[in-house]
Each structure stands twice: as structure tokens, then as C-alpha cells.
Structure 1
Amino acid sequence: MDTLAGRFQRLSPHILAYGPPDNLSRPAILLFHGCGGIAENLLIYVQAAVQAGVRAYIIDSFAPRGWSRKQASNWVCKGLKLRGYERSGDVLAAVYGLSQRPEVDASRLMLAGWSHGAWAIMDLMTQKLDKPGDARLADPAPQWLDGVKGLFLVYPYINFMARSVTRPWAHKPKTMAILTLKNHLATYKHSLELVRKLRKQGVSAETVTLNVTHAFDEAGIDKTRIMAYDADALESTLDALRDFMKVILA
């Protein structure tokens, strides 16, 4: 079982860093890809963050494990490997490692996840992180999440095996969820019910509802037939991100 430092050491060579070309301590957003791996859509969100003066880091969960995108897509998208709870250790380790860098303001962090990445973030929120084994780490510690002020979740996977369905959140940053009406992986009704449950737990959760499919922000996704790219919905999501950053990372 990895320690926090050990997991971050594995992740670190594969973390993509973006931001203003200076060494100033700035707020940061950590981005966690979906089950298909890092796609070009994430770079669009990164650009919006950098333009706002925010550092952005894309955390690759597949390359450190020696998986190609094709392998990961076959295994992870089918739920055979690296379920949300297992990947939640990547999220905590990334926060642990990046928050110690001098160019990162550890008191102003945001976590953003797409589909499986959102699942991993949400599963992390359900764990107290006060005992060995939480988040599949030997030495988890809740204080590393103190600087996480917000979660930005895009078409989050919150269906079968997602811990948020049955477990309350132990950590409650402000949350923005981008929900879609045509999501074949998690129905809109089910997703909205979970958001309402989180609100009852004391989570400040907002939603943006879009009449689009899962992965609507990935150009070329149309070939799957059950998912379709939508440029207008992508722009609406970018607007939501910009507005959320202004509030969370001010």
C-alpha cells in the first residue's frame, strides 16, 4: 500500500502543469480525467483557468500504472480496474504533493473531475481519512483537504459502486455539478436526487443542467452513437467554471 509521498512520487512525472510564467504563489485547480484518459477537452478548461491567473494541473492516473489509454479504456470504463475508491488515493496524493510547491497557494485549491475523475473525487469526500487504508493509502490525513475550497464535477459518475450513493460526505467543499439530461451512465433524475441528498448533509451544491449526453465536451465523441459533442454546452460549462473560480479561488 502506497504512502502519500510514495503515491505522489509515482504520479508526479506524469502531471501536466500549466499556468502564468512566474513563481508567485497562486491558486490552483487539479483536473482528473475520465475513464478514457486525458483528452483534448481538458486543455480547453486549463486555458480558462490560466487566463484567470490560476495554475492548472492535469493528473494522469493511467501512465503511472503503465497503462495505455486503450488498455485503461477497456478496463476502467468497464469497472474492472481502478474504481473510484481506489483512485481516490490519487486525488489526495496530488493535493498533498502539489500543495507543498511554493508556486501553489495551498489555501486556495479546487478539484475538477470528469465522469470517472468526478467519481474518484466524490469517493474521497466520503472518507474520514483518519486511519490506514482509507483511500488505499498507508498514511491518509484529512488536513491535506483543508485548502480544497471547491469541487467542479462534470457529468459525474454517481451510479453503481459510487460511494456517495450510500455514504455521507465527511468533507464538504462547495460543489458545482454539471448534469446532463441524456447521460446513459447516470440518469438525470438519479443524479439530481444525489445532489439533493448532499444538500441535506450540509454540502453547498449547485447544478447546471444541460440537454446533452455524457462526454458532450469531447470533439469526435459522436462516433459512439450514444454520445454527441455539443459546442454550446461546452461554452456553458466553461462559463460555469469561470464563475465558480471567481467565487472559490478569490
Structure 2
Amino acid sequence: MDDLNSRWAKLEPHITVVGPDDDRPRPAVLMFHGCGGLRDHLPRYAEAAKAAGWRAFIIDSYGPRGWGRAFTLTTVCTGLLLRGNERAGDVLAVIQGVSARPDVDETRLALGGWSHGGWSIMEMMSADRAPHTLGVSNPGDVDLSGVKAVWLMYPYIGPFAFNKMKPWRHCPKVLAVTCKSDHLTTVRNAELVNAMIRNCGAEVESWVAVGTHAFDEPTNNGPMRHDPELTLEALRRFGAFLTDVAPHN
């Protein structure tokens, strides 16, 4: 099992950094893709973060593992491999690794998770982080005090998300996006989860978007349908959310 440093060493070469062209310490948002892997929509969110004065880090969890899209669609998306509690180790390693960069203000971090990525963030937030859990040997070594916000974009809260109602141990500001026509959850289920997070002491804003799961991905796959106008609204809200957390400077 990797320790945090080893996991970061594997992930770092597969991270795309987008942000202002300077070396000053800026707030940073760490972005975790869905089970289908990196898609064309995440760079658009990264540009929105850049416009808000943030650095965006797009993390590829599959590149270091040598996994392609066809493989992950049949294994990760079906819950056979790398469930949210295991991928949470990636989240922790990136928090620690990015926090050490001189061009990042480690006191102003945000986490962004799309579907499976949101699930992984939620597992990390609720876990007691005992040794050899969450896919790494030393999960408790990460300081979460700098994590000031979480963007949950249609997070997976289905049957395999056993800890979805487990209280969070760190409670930053949250914007939770639920899709009205999401085939993986009902709005009622999502609102129950949001209420649980809110009851932990977090400030939680919820937005029910009138679209399908992954409406912001520029492809149509099964019950998921791309909605260009709704995507623009999501990008606007993402930028506004970051600006609210750490005003542009």
C-alpha cells in the first residue's frame, strides 16, 4: 500500500495545472473526475477558476494506474474497482502535495468532485482516517484545515456509497449540485445527504439543476444528455462559488 508521498509521486506527473501566469501563492481548487475519467468539460471549469484568480489542478486518477476509458467504464463505473473510499487516498495525497507548492496558498483550498470524484471526497471527509485505510498507509497525516470549500457536482450517492450519511469530520463551505433527472439518485436522497452535511456544521448550498447526470459533459451516453445552456450556468456558479470563498486578488 502506498504512503501519501508515494501516491503523490505517482499522481503528480498526471496533473494538469491551470492558473494565472505568476508564481505568487494563490488559492487552489483540486478537481477530481468522474468514473469515466478525464473529459473535455473539466478544463472549462479550470478556466473559470483561473478567471476567479485561482489555480486549478485537474487530477487524473487513471493515468498512474495505466487504466483506459474502456476498462474503467466496465470496472470503476460498475463498482468492481477503486470505490470512493479507496480513491480517497488520491484526494489526501493531492491535498498534501499541492499544499507544499510555493505558488499555492495552502490556507485556501477547495475540492471539486464530479460524480465518482465527489464520492471520493465525501468518503475522505467522513472517515476516521485510521492507518491503512482510504487506500494509503498514513491517511491521518494530512492537515485538512486549509480546505475551505467543496464543490460536489452530482456526486455518486448510490448503493455502494455506504457512508453517504456518515457525518463529516471536517466541515467547510459546500455547494452541492443535484440533477433533477439523475438516473443514479433521486433529489430526495440527495437532499437528505445535504442535510446531513449541513447538520455537521457546514454551510451547504444546494442547486437542483434541471438536467441529467453529467449534463456538463459534451457527449451523450445512455440516460445522460449534454445540456450546453445548463453547463454555462454550472460554470458561472463554479466561478462565483470560488470567488465567494476567496475573493479575486
* TM bracket (short chain): over 0.9
Q: Which residue number in structure 2 is paired with residue 245 of structure 1?
A: 242
Verify the 8 A CA contact 1:109 1:249 in the aligned structure 2: no
By how many angstroms is 1:135 displaced?
Answer: 1.6
Q: Deviations over 1:49-96 (max 9, x none)?
A: 111111111011001111112211211001110000000000000010
The SS at the match of 1:239 is helix
The SS at the match of 1:93 is helix
Q: Which residue number in structure 1 is paired with residue 153 of structure 2?
A: 154
- Aligned Cα RMSD in Å? 1.2
By how many angstroms is 1:200 displaced?
Answer: 1.9
By how many angstroms is 1:207 displaced?
Answer: 0.6
1:126 aligns with 2:126: yes
Q: Distance in 2 between matches of 1:2 and 1:225?
A: 36
Q: Give the TM-score normalised by the residue count of structure 1.
A: 0.95
1:49 aligns with 2:11: no
Q: Distance in 2 between matches of 1:29 and 1:52?
A: 11
Q: Structure 1 counterpart of 2:72, which letter?
A: A
By how many angstroms is 1:172 displaced?
Answer: 0.9
Q: Distance in 1 between matches of 2:172 and 2:132?
A: 23
Q: Give the TM-score normalised by the residue count of structure 2.
A: 0.95
Q: Distance in 2 between matches of 1:120 and 1:74?
A: 18
Q: Structure 1 counterpart of 2:88, which letter?
A: S
Question: Equivalent residues in 2 for 1:29-178 (5 A)?
Answer: 29-129=29-129, 131-141=130-140, 143-178=142-177
Q: Distance in 2 between matches of 1:77 and 1:140?
A: 24
Q: Distance in 1 between matches of 2:163 and 2:229?
A: 30
Q: Which residue number in structure 2 is paired with residue 185 of structure 1?
A: 184
Q: Which residue number in structure 1 is paired with residue 211 of structure 2?
A: 212
Q: Distance in 1 between matches of 2:238 and 2:197?
A: 20
By how many angstroms is 1:25 displaced?
Answer: 0.8
Q: Distance in 1 between matches of 2:240 and 2:18?
A: 20
Q: Distance in 2 between matches of 1:229 and 1:210?
A: 12
By how many angstroms is 1:110 displaced?
Answer: 0.5
Verify the 8 A CA contact 2:96 2:142 in the aligned structure 1: no
Verify the 8 A CA contact 2:122 2:164 in the aligned structure 1: no
Choose 177-186 or 158-167, whichever is displaced more: 158-167
Q: Which residue number in structure 1 is paired with residue 20 of structure 2?
A: 20
Q: Structure 1 counterpart of 2:185, which letter?
A: A
Q: Structure 1 counterpart of 2:148, which letter?
A: K
- How many percent of aligned residue pairs carry the same amino acid? 42
By how many angstroms is 1:225 displaced?
Answer: 3.8
Unaligned runs of 5+ in 2: none
Q: Distance in 2 between matches of 1:4 and 1:225?
A: 37
Q: Distance in 1 between matches of 2:36 and 2:142?
A: 31
Alignment match of 1:228 (pick from 225, 229, 236): 225
Structure 1 stretches (4+) deviating beyond 4 angstroms?
Answer: none
By how many angstroms is 1:142 displaced?
Answer: 5.7
Verify the 8 A CA contact 2:36 2:69 in the aligned structure 1: yes
Q: Which residue number in structure 2 is paired with residue 194 of structure 1?
A: 193
The SS at the match of 1:85 is helix
